[in-house]
Every structure is written in structure tokens, then in C-alpha cells.
Structure 1
Amino acid sequence: MISFSYRIRPLYGLSVVLLAFGALSCAPDNNKKEKGILPDPDNAALKLPEGFAALKVTDSIGKARHLAVNRNGDIIVKLERPDEGNGIIILQDEDGDGRADRQTGFGSYGGTGIALHGDYLYASSNTSVFRYPLNDRQLPESTNAPDTIIHGLIDQGQHNSKSIVLDDKGSIYVNIGAYSNACQEKDRTKGSPGMYPCPILDSAGGIWQFRANELKQSYGEGKRYATGLRNVVGLDWNRQDQSLYVMQHGRDNLSDLFPEFFDATASANLPAEVMYKIEEGDNAGWPYVYYDQEQGKYVLAPEYGGDGKKDPEEGKGAGAIPPKVAFPAHMAPNGLLFYTGDMFPEKYKNGAFVAFHGSWNRVPEEQTGYMVAFVPFKNGEPAGEWEVFADGFAGTAPVMAPGDALHRPCGLAQGPDGSLYVSDDVTGAIYRIMYDRQENKS
């Protein structure tokens, strides 16, 4: 039995109802109506490849970050900050039309990370990772008293989201973002030199590995699995080659801090947002270098003597691991998902979807991103150019500032039928993208 504070939101014209819901039965609902799932007439305002369709599961649950979908199709969403006391939201479709008509919540903390693995739900705040046992309906129990898996993680305000992913060998990986742009003595300050060696790397700017089934692990009990990563919000475990993949947010402020080397256009277009395959002990080079996708190489950061062209130096980024994929600058890759479902065409099998939250610092140029991209993979490696998969989240008007975007993609999840779910942290919309094999048969 589980205890929830339960309410129905104004979803699809329903009025707001507040209820004290004492107990939720663990038995399946055999009387659930199956209406069939039809996409929204306008595909939820999204632009999709031919054969795909979309609907909004809901439109207003709060600042939705990462999400997971259990094998019954229930959607579990982590909120950046609690909404009416609930930091985790469960959305259920009771009449079988694909849209949420029941919403429950628990967890009084905000954050980003959430994952279903084995018999547990894992969720993170900005300082801790918690674990909830699942009942036979794949719903969390003991919601008022979760296990604490990890505690005492650094939260310095900047780049503080603790994204998580689990492997198949008993480990959980946590992003500890660098609380800095480029490790300057005075962060984001013109003329301030970079600290060398960068002291932030001792405790942040990387991926830490912990044991998934051990309670109350302190920060110091974790292992620094990889370093030189400014901030990773999107990460996933690629089960085809049993490796960790991450999406790094590149640095900012090149023209603001070093106008002698970079004009506004260069600063808007550099550096790349990159996908890395991460193995234990890897170093991606931050803060000493950044990846210039136009030159196709790492260059030395200006805080450490670079001028936009100089190569890395010994001890300052030389030997940084190469990216697997380089994307345009400042698009903020917040979600990564390797697709293993059977609904989508074969080209998508084992490929990577990336949710781009959208840029904020391309002024005076138009902001960009706000979409979901796809990278084809073969035998565990990228096997072709990346492409825009789902667009239109931001609306049709030009986005000159991030506040102009109607929706901003953040998290990705795969449903039991192979549908792709996308969260939005502006209004809290949840999108479901589907493909109809019968309708698209040749």
C-alpha cells in the first residue's frame, strides 16, 4: 500500500479537485477502458519525420526535468523544484487514450535525476540520491521514508543538477557539475586568469561512481570516474557496448571575456556541445581546452594562454578524449537516451536521442536548439550525421531570448511500447512521440 497526496489538475478541461488519497491498491485495474491512442490533430505542434505523430500527455505539471516510464506506461517525472510540496509526479492514463487523467505526487525536494532500475526508483536532489522500492505495479512504496543512497554532494548553485544513470553491474553514476564557467580566479570576470591547476576538479567537473545498492554513502566514498567535464545534464548507459555516454555543456562568454580574440559571432557559435563515450579515468580537458567544431580540434582556452587557435599544452588539455559527436554551440543538451524499442523504424534501433534545452547566450543572434536530435549508431559507435528529429517546441516566432520559448525539451524516456517521451520544464508539458508501422507499411 502506498500513501499519496493526490490531486487532479485541470487536464483537458477537467476542473481542479483536491483529495486526501489514503491508499492506492497494488492490484491491476482490469476495468480500464481502452479507447485507443490517437495523436493530437496538430501533433502537439511538433515537426516530426514522416510516419511519426505526437500528443501531449499533459501540459502543466511544473518544471519537469528528467522522467522515467514503467512497464505499465505510468510516467514518473522529477521536478526542478517542488510544486505544492511534491518534487516527483506520477502520471497515469486510466481510460487508455494516452493522456494523463490521474496525477499523484510525493517527495518534498527538487532536482533533476530520476531512473527506474531493477526493483527500485532512484531520484536525486541537488545534494543527494534517494531510492524507493517498487511494488508489483512498478510504483514506488515508502514514499515518505526513502533510502538515502548518496548524501553530501556539492551544491554551489551553478551547474548543480545531479543527473544519474545506472549500469548493469551495480553502479550508479552521478554528474557533479563544475561551479564555474572556466575556472577563473573570479568567475566570468574579464581579465581574471584561469587557476592552474584548477582546484574545482578535485571535487566537481566530472562523473562520480557509487554503489547502487549501498546506503548512506558519503561524497568521499564515491570514485571520480571521469574528469574535465564542465557540466553534464544528459547521460545514458549504452547497453549495446556497455559504456557510459554523456553530453557536455560547453563554456560561455568568449567575446565578453576576451574581445581581442573573439567577436560576438564567434562567441555565439563556439564552442561545440559534445557527446563523449566515457571510460574510467577519462579526462575531457575542461577548463584548459574546449572543442572548436569549426576547426575540428581542441584549442587552448584563453584563460590559459589560448587565442582561439593555439593547441592544448602538456598538463593543459593535451590528451583530452575526443568527442564522439560535436553539435553547434550553446544548445544545452539536457537529455540523452539510447533507443532500444521496436516501434520506430530500424534506423533508430540503438541510436541516440538528444534533448536540447536551447541557448541563452547567442545575443545579438537568434537563440537556437529547443529540439530533439537523433544520432544513428551501429555496433556501439556513431554511424552517420546527426539530424533534427523533433522540432517546434519553442513555437513559431523567432526566439531572441530563452523566455520567448513556449517549451524547452529537457528529459527523454522510452515507453514499454517503444514510444518516446519528452519533458518540458517551462510549463511542464510531457510529449509522447509514436510511429504507426501499419499505417506506414509499403
Structure 2
Amino acid sequence: MKTLATAATALTLLAGPGLAQSNLEKLGAFKVTGTKEHTFIEQEGPQADSIREVLEGITLPEGFKIELYALVPDARHMAMAPQGTVLFVGTKKSKVWAVMDRDRNRVADEVKDFAPSLELDVPNGVAFSKDGFLFIAERNRVMMYPAAEFFHESPDVVAVPIVPQGDLIPVDEESYNHTARVIKVGPDDKLYISLGQPFNVAPAEKLDLYNEVGIGGMIRMNRDGTGREVYTYGIRNSVGHDFHPETGELWFTDNQVDGMGDDIPPGEINRQTEAGQHFGHPWFGGGTVRTNEYAGEEVPVDVVHPVSETIAHAADLGMSFYTGKMFPEKYKNAIFSAQHGSWNRTEPVGARVMVSFIDADGNVTTEPFAEGWIDENGEYDGRPVDVISMKDGSLLVSDDFANAIYRISYSAE
């Protein structure tokens, strides 16, 4: 396992003599970059008041309530540090935000940018290992930040490129579409990273390359970037995955093909039981619905179909299993997931938090949990992206439209 010492050694070698030092190389040599200031986000004012007004209209099961936790620009995927002192929030732009609740009143009192001395490119995916290493997956790079929970106060931090720029996918395959990577540390202590393919339906001439490098699937690697392999095939664009707390199996959402009509194909929640399974794209557009582009072809692979189909075009994104103790027993090991909301539909759907219950036979039932971010005019007041648990068992929900994070808690009182 890579330690702080070995990480520092790797960075020192990276910043060898004779190189014009970038900020990353300076950090590797434990030098200052000249960056002095963080960007701080004001937490009160008209924007916060407007969001609180919207939240009054969100419906939840009895006993639950939703409140504004933090104002965070472009808030996407989230990772809570192991000791619970700081929340890291990725974006599809160029920032990762560090969110702190210093007085422990369950409302953030400080939001600032993390590692502002570094240039980040779509740093959507954030994940922590249990021993405190932060991993950030960008469009075409994966970075490791040792002890980020404690070193985030400085603009300069230790940073290790475990997958250097340009090595996550071939540079020629870089796209503006489907580039929001999600990264998680699995129960085997390896990194699992989703690589969405950039097309609506992947063309046949790309399939061999994509299968080789893992585009349109998920890759797995050791925490130092070695041992890379393709773990999952046949995904169009997965933007949420997690591991079952008891079985360790990988579960994930998938965004399905656009342009086929309002009601097809369905969105997906999938369950993977072994390495190398194929989940149907591009022969299937979602569920068992065949794509127009491949409709006449025999499917050349064994396909694992979703365990739960969701309403078409709701854009199922971030998900996580609930392992907290605050919620009623029925929610133990249930999946909470975010539906970002539709664009390819005449009547908008989604913009809500869903819950999926798994029975003893593995059957899955998915239903709304928190909804109301689409108003009576069909306009969005919010678009949830990710759902994770806090250490107290409450849920955090990110929203990149409202630029906010919400906290959902429960009380039987």
C-alpha cells in the first residue's frame, strides 16, 4: 500500500532536475507554488433563502425532513473524509470544493476550493480510502491526495498522479460528452472508475478500442495505478456506483439512449456478480429495448439485464447503499439514488431522490423518496446528482442546478 513516504518519493522523482517545473512538480518537490488564497463561498443571503423556500415543497416519507446543508457551486459527486471533518465535492468544471461544519450544527459554515494551485479538468469523481487517501478522477487523469482531510487548509497540498494526464483514455477519445467520471474504492481496496462512452450509441468501428481500454464500462486498478483491467463492459454512461455492504457486489446506475421517444428505453440499476460481465450497450438501449442502430444484428455477447428499470430519461446518476443507523430499519442496505431529470422528453420527469429496496431473493423495488424539484410549470428548481451518508446516518444530496447540498434526516418524534 502506498504510504505518505512513498507518495512523496514518487513525486520527488517526478520533479527531477532540468525540468521546467509545473505547479504539480513543485508540489512533488515540497515547494510552494505562489498560490496564496482560496476562493470562499458565502453561505447566507438571497440564494440560500430561495433554496430554503423550495425545500419547503419537497415531499418525503413521514418523519423525514430536508434542509439546506451548504451552498456549493456546480455540486456533483461527494466524498466524506473518514473522520467526518470535511466533505469533498467534485464538479464538471475545474473545482473541487471542501465543505466544513466546524461547529457541528449540521449546517456547513465554510466552503472553499481544494488545492487551488492545481489545474483540474472535470474533477467530478471523488472518493476516500478508509485510511485517508483522497482520489479524484478527472476527464483524463486520476490524482491521489494523501491526508487531504487535514492538509486542505493550505492552497498547496501533496498530490500524486496515479494515472497521469492523457493515460486514463486515449487522448484522441477525449470528449465534452459523458466525461463525468465516478470513482470508488472497492471492498478489495482497489479503485473502480466508470468511463462513459461519448456517443448516444457507440459506433461499431469504436467497439474494439473501447473494450480494450474500458470506455463504455468500468476499469479496476490498484490504488497506485498499477494492475489496470476492464471490470465491466456494455455500459453507455454510468454516473453512479457502489458496493453492497454484505456481498461486496458492484451495483451501478446507467443513463440510456436518447431519441427513441418519451417512454423508452428505461433507465437502469444494475448488479454485477463477477468480473467481465456485459450489460448490453450498444445492442440494447436500456433494459431489453434494442437500439435502432443495432436492431437487426445478433447480439454477440451474453448480456446481464438490469435488476431495476426506472422511468425513461430521468437520468439516474449517483447512488449509495444506506448503512447508517438514523433511518428506520426498512432502509438498512437500501439504495438511495439521484435522478437528475430529463431533457429528451416532452414532459419532464426525475429531479428527485429514489430508494431501491432489495428483498431476500434479490428482487428490487424502486420508488420515489424525495421529490418536488419540478414545479407546476414543468420548470426545474433543482436537479439532484449524488447521495451519500453522513457519519450520523443522515443523507447528503448534491444539486448542480441549485448549486447546493441538502441534508435529509429522520426523527420518530
2:233 to 220, 227, 230: 227
- Superposed CA offset, 1:364-416 (max 9, x none): x2111000100012459345x2110011234x2333xxxx4121100111100
Change in CA separation of 1:305 and 1:435 when aligned onto 2, cut-off 3 Å: closer
Of all paired residues, the percent bearing the same amino acid is 28
Considering fraction of residues, name the structure with more helix.
2
1:164 and 2:186 correspond = no
Aligned partner of 1:393: which letter? W
Distance 2:148 2:235 in 1: 37
| Correspondence list, 1:3-14, <5 A | 5-13=37-45
In the alignment, residue 159 of structure 1 is paired with which amino acid?
H
How many pairs does the alignment contain?
Answer: 364
Match of 2:245 among 229, 239, 254: 239
Q: Deviations over 1:322-380 (max 9, x none)?
A: 21111011111110110000000011000101101111101xx2111000100012459
Paired with 2:59 and 2:246, the residues of 1 have a C-alpha distance of 29
TM-superposition CA deviations, 1:269-307 (whole Å, max 9, x none): 110111111220101111012345xxxxx243221234x
Q: 1:91 to 1:45 in 2, by over 3 A?
A: farther
On the 8 A contact 2:241/2:252 being kept in 1, the answer is yes
Q: Which residue of 2 aligns with 1:90?
A: 98
> What is the rounded CA distance, in whole Å, between the counterparts of 2:329 and 2:290 in structure 1?
40
Give the superposition deviation at 1:4. Answer: 7.4
Listed one character per residue, the Cα deviations across residues 146-179 of structure 1 (whole Å, up to 9, x for unaligned) are 1112232232222112111111212111111112
What amino acid sits opposite 1:202 in the alignment? E
> Quick one: structure 1 residues 42 and 398, their matched pair in 2 at CA, closer, same or farther if it must change by over 3 Å?
closer
* 347 and 101 in structure 1: CA distance in 2 versus 1, 3 angstrom threshold: same
Distance in 2 separating the partners of 1:104 and 1:247? 30
- SS of the residue corresponding to residue 143 of structure 2 reads strand
Match of 2:162 in 1: 149
Contact 2:38 2:112 in 1 (8 A): yes
Residues 200-236 of structure 1: CA deviation (Å, up to 9, x unaligned): 4333111111111x15x5xxx5211111111100111
1:254-293 matches, cutoff 5 A: 254=260, 267-278=261-272, 279-292=274-287
Q: Which secondary structure does the structure 1 equivalent of 2:403 belong to?
A: coil
Letter matched to residue 179 of structure 2: N
Provide the residue aligned with 1:251 in structure 2: 257
The partner residue of 1:201 within 211, 216, 237 is 211
Q: In structure 2, give the amino acid aligned to 1:130.
A: M
Matched-pair contact (CA < 8 Å) for 1:356–1:369: yes
Q: Secondary structure at the match of 1:202?
A: helix
Q: How does 1:323-342 map to 2 (within 5 A)?
A: 323-342=306-325
Q: Which runs of no fewer than 5 residues in structure 2 stay unpaired?
A: 1-31
- Shift of residue 44 of structure 1? 4.9
Residues 235-282 of structure 1 show CA distances to partners (whole Å, capped at 9, x for unaligned) of 11212111111111111112xxxxxxxxxxxx1111011111122010
Counterpart-to-counterpart distance in 1, 2:201 and 2:299: 18
1:47 aligned to 2:66? Answer: no
* TM-score (ref. length: structure 1): 0.75
Measure, in 2, the Cα distance between the counterparts of 1:210 and 1:140.
29
Query: 2:330 is matched by which residue type in structure 1?
Result: K
Deviation at 1:8, TM superposition (A): 4.0
Separation of aligned partners in 1, 2:400 and 2:53: 23
Instruction: Give the distance between the partners of 2:286 and 2:134, measured in 1 at CA.
Output: 36
Return the offset for 1:321: 0.5
Indicate how the Cα distance of structure 1 residues 140 and 113 shifts in structure 2: closer, same or farther if over 3 A, else same. farther
Looking at structure 2, the residues matched to 143 and 44 of structure 1 have their Cα atoms a distance apart, in angstroms, of 40
Amino acid at match of 2:37: S
TM-score, normalised to structure 2's length? 0.80
Structure 1: 5+ residue runs without aligned partners? 16-39, 185-193, 255-266, 293-297, 307-311
Give the deviation of 1:97 after TM superposition: 2.8
Q: By percentage of residues, which structure has more strand?
A: 1
Once residues 54 and 140 of structure 2 are traced to their aligned partners in structure 1, the CA distance between those partners, rounded to angstroms, is 40
